[in-house]
């Protein structure tokens, strides 16, 4: 396939976007997609959102109208007879042989052969529904396939044997690095790297690190790879330089984390750092829900004499309002692997210094100029010493705060990044 369209998109009145997500607009994840909808509406005459991994179709976060609609693909899969099912399985084993030949994980592909074969049966069924949708909407229109993830939907497009005007995908973390991403759930991931890269005309990496990985790993396709960072709307346009202050109610400096509670985030390591601080600090965690993980954190903080407050899952606007009104001294991310999380963009937007591990995309948003960059396998006492040094230097803290805001302005404004994304189409 060509590595770029032969010409730019025609006027919006002639363009339709098939936006493939995992579950959006259902559920609470894929926050980034929500940020992009308004920009896509300006570019395309219609947007058809296809949540490829959604089956329940509960409450939607968007209102359907003449511009935006939802195709519930898993409710539109055509029934197949016995002969069609057998033919589908035979085709899938032929495809798996191709995948095995190109795979960077041949042993894992063999070990999970049946798992991949079963998944391909479902993806092939989805592809029939997508093909029908495409045929209904492609007459005298340019249909652009926008895969928000370099994941199952790209495989579905490949199986459908259809050729949109343009096919693009974003690549974030696991969907970008595949076997090179340290994941607790790699076994269940479709390792169809080569097919996905061949199927797309353009692939947008959300980080410089990711783009370098692509070009090094797949040099034959390097013209397909483009750096286009994600971003968020500036909700802090009235920003003024900050001063380091303690929370009046507790008399403590506030340290914040904001994430889900998966093992990758390594939240249980936070108390091992905070217990060594000389300065009085209070830890506030945002995200997740009450359960065994939070119970453990509360008990551990009580045992070590750390003041801890848990805020459950919050809407984005509520988090931003909290950042706006609260004197936060430090935002922390201890993950062993990250793309570039929206949580750090939000903190940077409000000029909050960042502490993060030196892993994958993290150093592109967090460094020693706007916070503290630490090794993945860090020494808690050493990290505590670095935090104390920062808190003991109010002028240095203010400089880090300003630099945090600047890195947001330079790299993570959605208006700028989405304009660049649209220009590339």
The per-residue pLDDT for 8 is: 59
Cβ neighbourhood burial of 169 (10 Å; 0-12, 13-18, 19+): buried
Within the chain, what is the greatest distance between any pair of CA atoms? Answer: 74
Q: Cα dist. 154→19, 21, 255, 282 in Å?
A: 11, 11, 40, 45
Structural domain boundaries of the chain? 12-228, 253-411
Same fold across 12-228 and 253-411: yes
DSSP state of 370: T
CATH match for 12-228 among 1.10.287, 3.30.70, 3.30.1070, 3.40.50:
3.40.50
Regions in the chain scoring below 50 on pLDDT: 1-7, 187
The per-residue pLDDT for 86 is: 74
The per-residue pLDDT for 178 is: 82
* Fold annotation for 253-411: Rossmann fold (3.40.50)
Q: What is the Cα–Cα distance from 232 to 347, expressed in whole angstroms?
A: 11
Cβ neighbourhood burial of 404 (10 Å; 0-12, 13-18, 19+): buried
Q: Two tokens at 272? A: 């091992």
Structure confidence by residue, pLDDT tens digits, 154-198: 999 999 988 899 999 999 988 888 888 886 655 455 578 889 999
pTM beyond 0.75: yes
Among the listed residues 128, 6, 11, 13, the one whose alpha carbon sits nearest the alpha carbon of residue 76: 128
The per-residue pLDDT for 406 is: 98
Q: Cα dist. 82→79, 149, 166, 296 in Å?
A: 10, 32, 35, 51
């Amino acid at each position: 396939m060509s590595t770029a369209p032969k010409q730019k998109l025609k006027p919006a009145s002639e363009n339709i976007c098939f936006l493939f997500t995992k579950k959006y607009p259902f559920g609470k994840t894929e926050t980034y997609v929500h940020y992009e909808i308004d920009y896509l509406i300006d570019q395309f005459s219609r947007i058809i959102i296809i949540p490829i991994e959604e089956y329940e179709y509960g409450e939607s976060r968007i209102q359907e109208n003449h511009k935006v609609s939802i195709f519930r693909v898993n409710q539109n899969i055509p029934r197949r007879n016995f002969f069609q099912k057998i033919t589908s399985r035979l085709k899938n084993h032929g495809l798996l042989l191709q995948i095995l030949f190109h795979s960077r994980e041949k042993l894992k592909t063999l070990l999970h052969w049946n798992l991949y074969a079963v998944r391909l049966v479902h993806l092939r069924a989805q592809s029939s529904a997508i093909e029908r949708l495409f045929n209904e909407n492609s007459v005298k229109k340019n249909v652009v396939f926008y895969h928000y993830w370099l994941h199952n939907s790209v495989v579905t497009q490949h199986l459908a044997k259809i050729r949109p005007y343009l096919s693009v995908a974003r690549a974030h973390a696991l969907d970008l690095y595949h076997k090179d991403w340290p994941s607790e759930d790699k076994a269940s991931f479709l390792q169809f790297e080569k097919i996905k890269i061949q199927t797309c005309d353009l692939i947008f990496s959300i980080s410089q690190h990711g783009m370098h990985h692509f070009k090094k790993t797949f040099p034959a396709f390097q013209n397909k790879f483009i750096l286009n960072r994600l971003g968020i709307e500036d909700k802090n346009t009235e920003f003024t330089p900050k001063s380091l202050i303690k929370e009046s109610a507790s008399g403590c400096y506030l340290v914040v984390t904001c994430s889900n509670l998966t093992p990758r985030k390594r939240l249980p390591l936070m108390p091992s750092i905070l217990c060594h601080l000389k300065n009085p600090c209070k830890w506030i965690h945002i995200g997740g829900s009450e359960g065994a993980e939070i119970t453990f954190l509360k008990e551990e903080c009580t045992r070590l004499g750390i003041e801890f407050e848990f805020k459950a899952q919050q809407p984005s606007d509520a988090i931003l309002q909290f950042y706006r009104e609260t004197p936060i001294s430090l935002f922390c991310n201890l993950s062993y692997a990250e793309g570039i999380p929206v949580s750090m963009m939000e903190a940077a937007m409000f000029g909050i210094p960042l502490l993060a591990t030196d892993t994958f995309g993290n150093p592109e948003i967090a460094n020693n100029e706007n916070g503290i960059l630490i090794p993945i396998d860090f020494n808690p006492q050493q990290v505590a010493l670095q935090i104390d040094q920062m808190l003991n230097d109010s002028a240095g803290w203010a400089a880090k705060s300003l630099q945090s805001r600047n890195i947001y302005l330079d790299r993570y404004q959605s208006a700028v990044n989405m304009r660049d994304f649209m220009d590339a189409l």
